[in-house]
Chain A
Amino acid sequence: MERSIQTVLVLGASGTIGSLAGGLLAQNGFRVYFLSRHTAGSLKGLERAIAQARSEVIARNIICGDYDGLLAEGCEKADWILECVAEEAAVKQAMYERIEPYRRPGTLVSSVTSSLVLEDLPKGRSSDFQKHFLSTHFYNPPGKMLACEICGQSRTDPSVVDFMADFLESRLRRVVIRVRPTAGFAGNRIAFLLFAWITELAEVYGVEKMDYLIGPYTGRIMAPLATIDLVGLDIHQAIIQSLQKHTSDFLHHKLVLPDYVRRMIEAGHLGRKTREKGGFYRRLESGKYEYIDPKTLDYIPSFQPHVRFVEEAKQLIHLGRYWEAFDTILRAEGTEADIVKQILSAYLAYSYGLVGEVTEPSVGIAGIDKVMSAGFNWAAPSVLVYMLGGREKAAKLLSGQGFEVPAALQKDTACEQYPFNAGKYFPAK
C-alpha cells in the first residue's frame, strides 16, 4: 500500500514532548493539529514549538484546538495520529477509544510511551487500528536529542514500522533505533538501571560525591543524579516501578528505589520542576548548589570533593588525551576507583548483555550505541570499550568487577572502529 504523511494530529499537545515533536513536524513542512483538553494548553504548546524552532513561521503549519472542538476534524484529516497523553494505560486506551470512530482506515497511530506494555494498549480496538499501531518514543527535548525508538506490537503490520522508521529518518532527521517491545525499550532500560544503582550508592557516599565520581568525564554530558533532577524524581520512580514489574534480568536486583528517594518524592523534592524545594540538588540565589543529605533530607553545602585520579583524568581529557585518562582510571586503586570501575563495568555488562533482548541480535551493539548517544548524550558502549583500550581490556575490567563478559562484547567489532567525534561525550568536568 502506498503511504504518505501530509497531516499529523498530535494528542496531548499541551505537554512538552507532544508540542516539541509536533513542532518538529511543523518545521519540516507538515500540517499539524495541536490538540489537548483545552485550547489554551494547545496554544502553550505552540509557543513551546515556536521557541524550539526559534521561528514564528512554523505557526502557519499548526492548528490549535481542544478535543471537543477539533478531534473529529483532526482524525479525519490526519495521516498519522501521534498520541502523547499522560503515561497511564487507562488514559491512553480511553483516548484510542475516543478517536477510533473518526480515524480513517490506514491512518497510522503511534504512542510516545516506552514504559507501558505496548501489547495491551490497542486492545479492544479494530483490526485496522491495531495493524497501524506502534510506538515512536521521542527523546526529550527532540530538538536536541535526536533518538527515536520505534517498535510495533504483535499485531502491527511490519510494513508500518518500516515506513515509519524511514519517515522519521528521512523527513524528521531522527536517529531511529528499532527496539523490541520490552518495558523501557533500550535507552530507559539501561540508563535508569544505572540511575537506580547510583541513587543507592549515594545513600552511602553522598549525592555530591557520586555525581563527582560518575561525572561527565566518565562519558556523559550530565552527571547521573543531576539528570534525574532534570527528568523529575516522580518520573524516575514511575520508570523504575515499570521496569521492576515488567523486566527480569541479571541486574534486576539493582532496580531499586531507596527509601530516601521515596521520602524525597513524598516531600515534593522532585528536581528542577520543584525549583524551590529542589531535588538531589538545590540551586541557591547565588547560583551555587546545595546537595540533599539522604539521611536527613536537609540540604548541605558543597564539600568540593577532590580525588586525585579523578582530577588527573579530567586534566588529561581537558587536553584531549582521552585514552590516557581512561588508563589513569583503570590504574587507580581505592574505594572511589572501585566505584567508578563498578559503574563503568555495569554500563558495559548491561548494555552488551541486553543485545538481542531489547534490540535485534543481528544489529549487535549498534542500536544501543545509537540510543545511548543520541538519547542520553552518553558515550556509546562501544566507544567506551575503545577508550578503555579495546575489547580485551574491557573484558578484564568486567571480570574484575564480577561481571560475566557478554557474548555480544566478545564478538563486537564496533569497538575496534576509531570513534570519530566521540570526545564530545567526555567533558573535562
Chain B
Amino acid sequence: MSSKPVYILGGYQTDFARNWARENKHISAMMREAYEGSLAVSQIEPRDIQSAFVGNFAAELYCRQGHLGAFFVDFDAVFKGLPTSRFEGACASSALAVLSAMAHIQAGWYDCIAVVGVEQMKTVSPAEGGDFLGTAAWYERESAGIEFPFPKLFGKLGDVYEERYGLDDRHLARIAAINYGNAKNNPNAQTRDWFMSYDHACQKGRYNVPITGRIKVTDCSQVTDGAVCVYLASEAFACEYANRLGQTLETIPRIAGWGHTTAPIEFAAKIAESEGRPYVLPWTRKAVLDAYRRAGIRDCWDLDVIETHDCFTTSEYMAIDHFGLTEPGQSWKAIEEGVIEMGGRLPMNPSGGLIGCGHPVGATGARQLLDAFKQVSGTAGGYQVDGARRAATLNIGGSATTNVVFVVEA
C-alpha cells in the first residue's frame, strides 16, 4: 500500500451473549464498557485518544437515540471537546468508521483514534427488529410489509447460486455447524453455550423453523447486543506505543490493505448486473481484489485466516468463492474438503462469525477487525489459528450493497 500505514493497537469486545435491555442499560453503557475494557487490555491512556469514530446502524430505531459520538466525551474528563463522529452503512457501519479513521490518520489529522462499533437490538420484538433491519435494503421496494426481509433476500442469494451453479442445502448446514462449533471456543460469542450439530442444522422442525424459502433459523445470524472499541494509530504513535510496551513496531499489527465498493441497493439490480458474469456479487469480489492488491498479496492463499460476513449461511457460501478459495460457484468444494474449518487450509470465522459470535449490526465490522488483530498478534486464545500472520475481513451492509474488506498483518 503506497499510503501511510495505519496500525491497530488492540481493543475490546463486550460479551455478545448479554441482553442490555434486560439489564436496563442505556446504549451508552455498552459503549462505555467497550471503551473501559479496551483501555484495560491495550494500555492506551485516555489522553492518547484524539478522536472517536462511532459506527452504528439504527440506534434511533432500536433505542430512540441518535448522535452517539457525543456520548464518548462523557467517558473521561479529558475528553471534553474531543472531536467525535458517527457513521452509518447498515451492517458495515463500523467498517466505514474504520475506513474514515484510517483516512484521517493518513491525512495527518490525528495519530490515535478510538473506533467504536455498537448496536443494541434486543429492545424490540423480532418482527419489529426485522422491519428495522429492512431499512438497510430499499425499504419501499424490498421490505415494506414483509415480516423478515433480509432472510428473504439472502434466501434469494442461495436461489441464484442454485440456478447458476447448483446448491445443496447440506453445505449451508455445514457452514452453520462450523460457525457454532467455532463459537464454543470464543468466550464472548453469543452462542457459545448453545447446542448445535450438523444434523440439527439439516433438520426442519419446531426447533429449527423455516423462516422463508431455504432459510431456516440455523441459517441466520443472531439478534445481538454488543459493542467493540478498537484503536487505530499512525506510525509515529504506534512506534511510541510499542516503545512504551517494550515492543518493536514490527510486532504491532497494521492494516495492510482495504477494499470498499458500493453495489446497487436493490438485490434484483445486483443480480441483473451479474447475469452472465462469473461472480454473483461482482462488487463484493472487487472489494476483495482491491484489498489484495493494496496489501500486495496474490490471492487468498497468502492469508492465514478470514473473518467474513455470514449474516446468513448463504452469505458465507458466497464469500468462499468471492475470496477466491474456489472457482466461482464451487464453494461447496472448500466446505467438503474442510478448507474453512479450524485446522483447514484457510479457516473462516474462528470467532464463530455472525452466526456463532453474534451480529450486533453496527459493531460487526469493528469486531471483525479486532478478531483479525487478535489472530495476527497471537492473542485470540481458544480460537487462535496457529501461527496466523495475515488475516482478512469482509463486512457487508444490506444485501452486499456496501462491501468493505481489510487485510491485517503483523
Contacts and interface: CB of A to CB of B under 8 A. Distances in A.
Interface stretch (B194-202, B254-262, B264-272, B359-367): B194-202
Grouping DSSP codes into helix (H, G, I), strand (E, B) and loop, the A interface class, with mixed when no group exceeds half, is loop
A420 to B, nearest CB: 6
B70 to A, nearest CB: 13
A421 B14 contact: yes
A232 interface: no
Contact of B24 (A144, A173, A429): A429
Contact of B195 (A58, A314, A320): A58
Nearest to A320: B29
Interface string A236-264: 00000000000000000000000000000
Interface residues of A, number: 28
A320 B25 CA distance: 7
B28 interface: yes
Contact of B203 (A56, A173, A320): A56
Nearest to A52: B195
B197 A57 contact: yes
Given A54-B207, A56-B207, A318-B29, A424 B193 contact: no
A162 B144 CA distance: 58
A115 interface: no
Nearest to A144: B193
A420 B40 contact: yes
Contacts of B12: 420
A146 interface: yes
Interface string A44-79: 000000101111111000000000000000000000
Contacts of B37: 418, 420-421
Contacts of B104: none
A429 B29 CA distance: 14
A325 B184 CA distance: 34
A318 B26 contact: yes
B184 A55 contact: no
A161 B22 CA distance: 38
B223 to A, nearest CB: 15
Interface in B145-203: 184, 188, 193-197, 199-200, 203
B236 to A, nearest CB: 28
B245 to A, nearest CB: 17
B: interface residue count bin: 20 to 34
B339 to A, nearest CB: 24
Contacts of B30: 320
Given A173-B193, A318-B26, A424-B23, A55 B207 contact: yes
Contacts of A429: 23-24
B205 interface: yes
Contacts of B25: 317-320, 423, 427-428
B200 A428 contact: no
Contacts of B29: 317-320, 423
Interface string A395-429: 00000000000000000000000101101101111
Contacts of B203: 55-57
B84 to A, nearest CB: 17
Nearest to A51: B207
Interface in B1-57: 12, 14-15, 18, 22-26, 28-33, 36-37, 40
B22 A427 contact: yes
A1 B22 CA distance: 48
Contacts of A123: none
Contacts of B206: 56
A423 to B, nearest CB: 5
B208 interface: yes
Contacts of A319: 25-26, 28-29, 32
A361 interface: no
Interface in B228-273: none
Interface string A341-359: 0000000000000000000
26 contacts: A50-B207, A52-B195, A53-B207, A54-B195, A55-B195, A55-B207, A56-B206, A143-B193, A173-B193, A314-B24, A318-B26, A318-B29, A320-B26, A320-B28, A320-B32, A420-B12, A420-B40, A421-B37, A423-B23, A424-B18, A424-B23, A427-B23, A427-B24, A428-B23, A428-B24, A429-B23
Given A55-B207, A418-B40, 9 more contacts: A54-B194, A56-B206, A57-B197, A143-B193, A173-B184, A173-B193, A320-B26, A320-B36, A421-B188
